[in-house]
Amino acid sequence: EADIYQTPRYLVIGTGKKITLECSQTMGHDKMYWYQQDPGMELHLIHYSYGVNSTEKGDLSSESTVSRIRTEHFPLTLESARPSHTSQYLCASSGRVNSPLHFGNGTRLTVT
């Protein structure tokens, strides 16, 4: 069973607030990912990391930023939330090349 944790599970905030979505894994995986899932279910890669101090932008442009100071921790930050950021955010990690990604339970963000 994969050990990857996301907090909070649900978040409702007002426009303009700064938020950080937390993601931690205990498997020692070097690679970590953030996906955004729209209401139509489609998944889009927005950020990934190959290891400490490595961050890359994914296929979908996002106003969020990420950091990777520790192997186990990959937080995502929105400096000024907007209603267009309302979505589900899924964090994942993986070990070897071509191995499966292990996902957390997600954070469902609503910006009012």
Residue 101 C-beta: closest distance to other proteins, Å: 5
Report how far apart, in Å, the C-alpha atoms of 63 and of each of 66, 69, 92, 94 are.
Answer: 10, 20, 19, 24
Does 99 bind other proteins (CB under 8 A)? Our answer is yes
Does 98 bind other proteins (CB under 8 A)? Our answer is yes
Which of 28, 40, 69, 70 contacts other proteins by CB under 8 A? 40
The Cα–Cα gap between 68 and 111 comes to 25
Q: Output the six-digit token pair for 39.
A: 């209401």
Residue 97 C-beta: closest distance to other proteins, Å: 8
Which of 41, 53, 69, 70 contacts other proteins by CB under 8 A? 41
Residue 95: how many other CB atoms lie within 10 Å: 13
Does 74 bind other proteins (CB under 8 A)? Our answer is no
Touching other proteins, residues 42-71 (CB under 8 A): 42-43, 45, 48, 50, 58
CA dihedral 29, 23, 73, 85 (to 10 degrees): 120
The DSSP call for residue 83 is: G
User: Which residues sit at the interface with other proteins, rule CB under 8 A?
Assistant: 6, 31, 33, 40-43, 45, 48, 50, 58, 90, 92, 97-106
